[in-house]
Structure 1
Amino acid sequence: MTGASPPPNPTSGPVVWMRKNLFATPSDTLLTFVGLLFLAWILPPLYGFLIGRAVPPGGTVEQCRVENVGACWAYISSEIDFFIYGFYPSVEYWRVNIVFAMLALLIIPLAMPKVPYKRINAILFIVVFPIASVILLSGGVFGLRYVPTEQWGGLMVTLIISVVGICLSLPLGIILALGRQSSMPIIKSICVAFIELIRAVPLITILFMASIMLPLFMPSGVTVDKLLRALVGVTLFSSAYMAEVVRGGMQAIGRGQYEAAAALGLSYWKRMGFIILPQALKHVIPGIVNSFIALFKDTSLVYIVGMKDLLEAVKTKNDAIEWASPTQAITGYIFAAAVFWMFCFSMSRYSQFMERRLNTGHKR
């Protein structure tokens, strides 16, 4: 009988993970220690400012004015309504809350692949939800008080512009990408001119044109709503970039796919709708979501047309004298950054989930 062999080395666990990912080579070990030193240098001050020396919600302004105080979260909790609703009448907040609830109830099941009744859900989100939202937010009908868009603001405006821009820029971008690859010279020239013109100027210029120049071309006495100007400008700007993302995905599809679809006798729109676009959009999911994230962050530029989005609402309240303190402004900007990060990070994680789900060709 041979003697007992030693047990095999473990292949899982925290120690194995650290040895493989943090201390595999001398350079990895050096970088790990440098990273630990950086965290030891940056984390204690951050903890002290954000938590340790911070004034919690419910505190007073006198506490925020103490020397060497941390973040004034009492200021955020006191002004949270303005950051979310802007100048919207407080007695009508329930209308905005209903719109928020409808958005969550429709978009969450739509984003979950295994939830049934996707077609009904999509119709409700694309057709019913916009009409109901306009009626609830604007009012003026069914006994609802009329609230002009000049009183809208805060997170509400940020979400409205981003959701509308995302929902419209993707189909517009697909149409522009198809038009740019069209064999008809007029359609191709129009799409190329539009894409190159929009991409050649920054978004702030487009919003400035929508705010200052557009009314000059309208008939006398006709005005364009400020929110509508922002929606049109952001949507057109994002659709031009989306068109190039989609076109890149279409060019990545092998020529044999086009020829095979044509050999089946499919029409142009069936070839694109059933064969080419599903593959192209799957390849460019990171680019599409990147455009969505950029659009969401670019909503902070709508102050050009006089709208107070989340960042502009924070900037407005940072000048409030009643909450004046050494950390008032930085606390407000940290709050705005946290909100933007939460939405952008969620979109990024969802795009990774969809990549893994649709990556059927070569599983990782």
Structure 2
Amino acid sequence: MDARALAALAANPGCRRRAILDGAGVDKAALAGALGAPSAFGQSQFAFMRGNAFEARVKADGGAELLRLVHRTVDPGAEPPLRAQVPDLAAVGPEGRAARTALALREATLSVEGTGPGTGAWTLLDHPMLALDVAGSPAFLEPDAVVVHPDGGWTVVEIKSFPMLDGSADPAKVGAAARQAAVYVLALEDVAARLDPAPRVRHQVLLVCPKDFSNLPTASAVDVRKQRAVTARQLTRLTRIEEVADALPEGVCFSPELPPEELTAAVDSVPAAYAPECLAACELAFHCRRGSRSAGAVTALGRSVRAELGGLTTVEEVLAAAHGEAGDPDDPAVAALRRAARLRAEALAAAAPAGDTAREVARCP
């Protein structure tokens, strides 16, 4: 699991389907194609190359421009980053890289004499490796960068290729970046908790994007305290992957090589919690949407609609309640539906011609 997958999983913790597929390392894009519901989720090759080129520009010259943005945006009271350390984080395997990152963070935070934090220079960790326990399984995460300030504090840096126009960016994309960064903050806090004294992990992350329509970097500080709290709470509520696996039918397999009917039955044997927000976060969204629509589930209309409908879980139940054919009239959701149906009928009747046509329109569901 990477930070993007964890952020999506934390945003929809009730989806056991995504939990088991991510935990098993299943290629969901290939799986969606084999199911006949390929998704356009993910970056195009052009966007991927443009993002890599922009990140390389931001980190050029030992990260001088990136550190300048951190100093100006997040910590203007600190000494200017005239000199900076960029430790080598190379190691064998993700476990080795995570251990090397933890050591580099400790060395950057504490002084050479060991008298405590606050005496070092600026330090830039380029693509460090962090570990986070998720539902009993380790997840290795790789943020774009982590900066250690002269006072010993740590800041997560997210570099994105979407533009900031007149100082603001697409709120949906900024929200997704904030949720992803919140996962990195949680992982950094785990590292910080093992140090004595524990350094401060800043809850303001630096979001670096192209300025307007140029390739020049600009930055904004994003407060991720809310996203961090929500993600931490949702991750603790995630069902352990072993429990999800134990509930699967014997011999179930998610290989894209299986016949379509057998593969569909295997995937549908794991409960999903589809919502329209999944279209921007999961490769299986089109398959889950198709199943949700065929079952008439109101979740296909969005979580806010589902919350307003209370115990009514299918479109048929909603229509029956609105027409007075089912439902408890004392239920606030049922009462609101019937009132809405009456208002709709009155509006259609007022707009239609007089006579039989008006009566027919008024009876339309």
Q: TM-score range by the shorter chain?
A: under 0.3
* Structure number with higher helix proportion: 1
Tell me the TM-score normalized by structure 2.
0.25
Tell me the TM-score normalized by structure 1.
0.25
